């Protein structure tokens, strides 16, 4: 693997529903094939209508989340309105591109609900910005995207989107050696956000 691939490990997915967005990621922290922790947090609440899921270096994820939280809070105070999902995604895209010489080692999903409805954006370490209905990032992408491709449909409910995201992460955990140890989920609807963790299920030996 290249140096970037050694640092950007793990799996995160996002699924857009008719009434919200689900962001999910597994919890294993690994650099290359060396595991450092089984309890990493890769899904973050920015505010009541925006969330981030990311894979890569944990410190970089945390810094980007703090930047997003600070600027979105300032935006809300200044305009007396809640920020759009596109504005949050463009902010992080600008931050990533501005640091392209010494980049953040992350891949990022930004999702949430605003006055225009639900949105999901995908970014690479250099800030390329794409909006889509579903996405997977990280070393488990090929495994997770197969589940998303086959299971996604327009107009699905937030409950269906959550179940699809869990299936996609579980698929990556089952085959990707640097993904594992449970799933963190952030569900965002017009009523706010819900965070939950699904612990790793122990293997059953017959």
User: Which 3-state string (H, E, C) describes the chain?
Assistant: CCHHHHHCCCEEEEEEECCEEEEEEECCEEECCEEEECCCCCEEEEECCEEEEEEECHHHHHHHHHHHHHHHHHHHHHHCCCCCHHHHHHHHHHHHHHCCCCCCCEEEEEEEEECCEEEEEEECCCCCEEECCEEEEECCHHHHHHHHHHHCCCCCCHHHHHHHHHHHHHHHHHHCCCCCCCEEEEEEECCEEEEEEECCCCCCCC
- Look up tokens 């370490």; give the residue: 125
Catalytic site positions: 11
């Amino acid at each position: 693997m290249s140096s970037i691939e050694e640092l950007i490990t793990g799996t995160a997915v996002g699924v857009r529903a008719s009434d919200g967005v689900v962001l999910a990621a597994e919890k294993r922290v690994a650099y290359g094939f060396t595991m450092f922790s089984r309890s990493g947090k890769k899904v973050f609440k920015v505010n009541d209508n925006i969330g981030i899921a990311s894979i890569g270096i944990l410190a970089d994820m945390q810094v980007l989340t703090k930047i997003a939280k600070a600027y979105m809070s300032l935006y809300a105070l200044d305009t007396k309105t809640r920020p759009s999902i596109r504005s949050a995604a463009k902010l992080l895209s600008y931050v990533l591109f501005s640091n392209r010489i010494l980049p953040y080692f992350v891949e990022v999903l930004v999702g949430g609900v605003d006055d225009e409805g639900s949105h999901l954006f995908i970014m690479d370490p250099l800030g390329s910005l794409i909006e889509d209905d579903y996405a997977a990032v990280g070393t488990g992408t090929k495994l997770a995207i197969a589940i998303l491709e086959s299971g996604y449909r327009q107009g699905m409910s937030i409950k269906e989107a959550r179940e699809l995201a869990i299936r996609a992460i579980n698929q990556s955990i089952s085959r990707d050696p640097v993904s594992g140890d449970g799933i963190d989920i952030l569900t965002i609807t017009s009523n706010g956000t819900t965070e939950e963790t699904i612990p790793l299920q122990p293997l059953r030996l017959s």
